[in-house]
Amino acid sequence: MTYACRQFYIDGQWVNPSAPREFKVINPATEEVAGVICLGNGEDIDRAVAAAKGAFPAYSQTTRDERRELLEHILAAYKARYPEFVAAISDEMGAPINLSRDAQAEIGVGHLAAMIDVLGRFQFEERKGNTSLILEPVGVCGLITPWNWPINQVAAKVVPALAAGCTMVLKPSEFSPFSAMLWAQVMDEAHVPHGVFNMVYGDAAAGAALSAHPDVDMVSFTGSTRAGVEVARSAAPTIKRVHQELGGKSPNVLLDDVDFEHAVRVSVLHVMQNTGQSCNAPTRMLVPADKLGVVEAIAKRIADGIVVGDPKSKSTEMGPVVSKIQFDRVESYIEKGIEEGAKLVTGGLGRPEGLSKGYFVRPTVFSNVRNDMIIAREEIFGPVLCILPYDTEEQAIDIANDSPYGLAAYIWGADAARARRVGNRIRAGRVILNGARGDMHAPFGGFKRSGNGREWGEHGLRDFLEIKALIGADAA
Ligand code: NAD
């Protein structure tokens, strides 16, 4: 199927761009054009922000119950279009159809359901003596999202912003516009009041215009640390709130008492899931030095068994990376790893056997990686695992924390209390013990250069609220 989305959703209408500039979206599995969009400019952003500003006075006064009901309508409309989301996500960024259905699209349901739950019990007002602390919507929000978990990132911003009573302009990634178009259609079908949700396609220039806009009170950005810095710079002169979900290079500490077969299998599959394009992927696996050989053998067997290929096939476990740029970037990191002297356990340069087109990368495992190597420090954002040996638990903790990032960390250990002790010492926004299942209510976000602020559940909602102290509340 080919898509055509040459319009933007502003003030409850699909409108033409002020100066049409076409952008072809390439299906990364076929290298063929999947569809065409138009990219917006500063004028389109101005128009969308004006709509959001106009809608704010009325929408910010809606009750919690009204907003909860709105989210329920959105959830129903989203579910009704579910198969289209599954197909669009797969076509635009190459996710295997099973992953698209069971995780990429499913997480949209997860965010909506979690927020409906949170909104039912959230306290927007709290009394402290003679003062009432009131949580109010922060205002007009600019939401800028990447392509790698496209609906997750849209939902993780739009849903709490709506729950808070904010109005917004979404600028999704130009590489994942089809799922965003469906999302805008769902907003329309659910009767989100005109101007509350607006969407403009665009590249970095549109993102910069949104970040700098004087009528935008908060910008929430997910993407690379590089662009996150630019967003903060653009936002600085207008003192808006800057919320950033950025990159990661998450450590995965395997303690010496663990079931290595299980921990390595789950961890390798996690790194390779979504073709390594997850900000929280456990890409630095820290293992006891005397277990290095055992771990390498398991990692090789699991990586070699991954079925790479056509995302439309039900047996495919790993699709392509999103674009030619991303393919070249990942290949250059694999080359750097080899040059730096890391041991290539499996994978390496070039497409996997039997695939002559598409941006497919070999599931790659490096071992004997030192933490000062480029492949251990920089986010590769591809299916590349680094295994690092350690001698003592203390050293493992030091290596885990020796990173500019602090998004997630993973700890495996048979002694649960010990695993938790180690986890407590890792500076990261999310620490996952022994492969625990995901939790839609647990906050998501990073320490250090992985960002500022949190998304998901109650903490995600709080970040879209502003606090007001009403002093003298006793007399009122
Ligand atoms: P990117 O930074 O290139 O683009 C992200 C978004 O920002 C896109 O919509 C893009 O058009 C826009 N943009 C780019 N430059 C901009 C600028 N100067 N000003 C304003 N907007 C700008 O990132 P990407 O390649 O789309 O996504 C991959 C990156 O996202 C990875 O580094 C990954 O770790 C990160 N990511 C982080 C999280 C998280 O929650 N921490 C989640 C997913 C992805």
For residues 131 and 181, membership in a common domain is answered with yes
CB atoms within 10 A of CB 5: 21
185-200 tens-digit pLDDT: 999 999 999 999 999 9
Q: Average pLDDT of 198-206?
A: 98
Ligand 1 midpoint to CA 456 (Å): 18
List the CATH number of the domain containing 125: 3.40.605.10
Could you tell me if the CB of 144 is within 6 A of ligand 1? Answer: yes
φ, ψ for residue 203, nearest 5 deg: -105, -155
Ligand 1 midpoint to CA 222 (Å): 5
Residue 476 has pLDDT above 80, yes or no: no
Could you tell me if the CB of 246 is within 6 A of ligand 1? Answer: yes
Structure tokens at 116: 């409906």
Active site annotation includes 32: no
Confidence of residue 2 (pLDDT cuts 50, 70, 90): confident
Q: Which atom in ligand 1 lies closest to the alpha carbon of residue 234?
A: 19
Ligand 1 midpoint to CA 244 (Å): 10
Q: Which atom in ligand 1 lies closest to the alpha carbon of residue 446?
A: 41
Of 118, 113, 108, nearest in space to 145 by CA: 108
Of the residues 92, 174, 245, 317, which is catalytic? 245
Ligand 1 midpoint to CA 295 (Å): 33
**CA–CA dist 381, 327 (Å, integer):** 10
Spatial contact of 404 and 374, defined as CB atoms under 8 Å apart:
no
Rounded to 5°, the CA angle 189-194-199 comes to: 80
For residues 434 and 454, membership in a common domain is answered with no
List the CATH number of the domain containing 373: 3.40.309.10
Q: Average pLDDT of 410-421?
A: 98
Pocket test for ligand 1, best of 246, 326, 452 (most atoms within 8 A of CB): 246
60-75 tens-digit pLDDT: 999 999 999 999 999 9
331-383 tens-digit pLDDT: 999 999 999 999 999 999 999 999 999 999 999 999 999 999 999 999 999 99
**CA–CA dist 115, 128 (Å, integer):** 26
Pocket test for ligand 1, best of 216, 222, 321 (most atoms within 8 A of CB): 222
Model confidence, pTM: 0.97
For residues 233 and 273, membership in a common domain is answered with no
Q: Average pLDDT of 163-192?
A: 98
DSSP SS3 for 174: coil
Spatial contact of 41 and 19, defined as CB atoms under 8 Å apart:
yes
* pLDDT the model gives residue 475: 79
Residue 334 lies in a domain: yes
* % pLDDT > 90, the chain: 99
Could you tell me if the CB of 381 is within 6 A of ligand 1? Answer: yes
Confidence of residue 106 (pLDDT cuts 50, 70, 90): very high
Residue 476 lies in a domain: no
Q: Average pLDDT of 298-315?
A: 98
If you take atom 31 of ligand 1, which residue's CA is the nearest one?
Answer: 224
For residues 184 and 79, membership in a common domain is answered with yes
Domain count, the chain: 2
243-298 tens-digit pLDDT: 999 999 999 999 999 999 999 999 999 999 999 999 999 999 999 999 999 999 99
Residue 357 lies in a domain: yes
For residues 220 and 260, membership in a common domain is answered with no
Beta-strand relationship, 32-38 and 22-27? antiparallel
* pLDDT the model gives residue 318: 98
Confidence of residue 326 (pLDDT cuts 50, 70, 90): very high
Q: Average pLDDT of 151-170?
A: 98
Confidence of residue 160 (pLDDT cuts 50, 70, 90): very high
Residue 427 lies in a domain: yes
Could you tell me if the CB of 274 is within 6 A of ligand 1? Answer: no
- Domain span including residue 406: 251-439
Q: Average pLDDT of 209-226?
A: 97
Q: Please name the residues in contact with 301: beta carbons below 8 A apart, sequence gap of 6 or more.
A: none
Residue 426 lies in a domain: yes
Residue 435 has pLDDT above 70, yes or no: yes
Residue 445 lies in a domain: no
Of the residues 5, 141, 166, 279, which is catalytic? 279
For residues 50 and 123, membership in a common domain is answered with yes
Pocket test for ligand 1, best of 279, 327, 330, 456 (most atoms within 8 A of CB): 279
Could you tell me if the CB of 379 is within 6 A of ligand 1? Answer: yes
Q: Average pLDDT of 30-54?
A: 98
Q: Which atom in ligand 1 lies closest to the alpha carbon of residue 173?
A: 9
Residue 1 has pLDDT above 70, yes or no: no
If you take atom 14 of ligand 1, which residue's CA is the nearest one?
Answer: 204
Residue 390 lies in a domain: yes
Q: What is the dihedral of CA 71, 77, 78, 83, to 10 degrees?
A: 170
Active site annotation includes 245: yes
Q: Average pLDDT of 192-217?
A: 98
Could you tell me if the CB of 456 is within 6 A of ligand 1? Answer: no
Name the residue with tokens 């500003």: 53
For residues 342 and 283, membership in a common domain is answered with yes
* % pLDDT > 70, the chain: 100
Pocket test for ligand 1, best of 144, 211, 220, 405 (most atoms within 8 A of CB): 144
For residues 149 and 270, membership in a common domain is answered with no
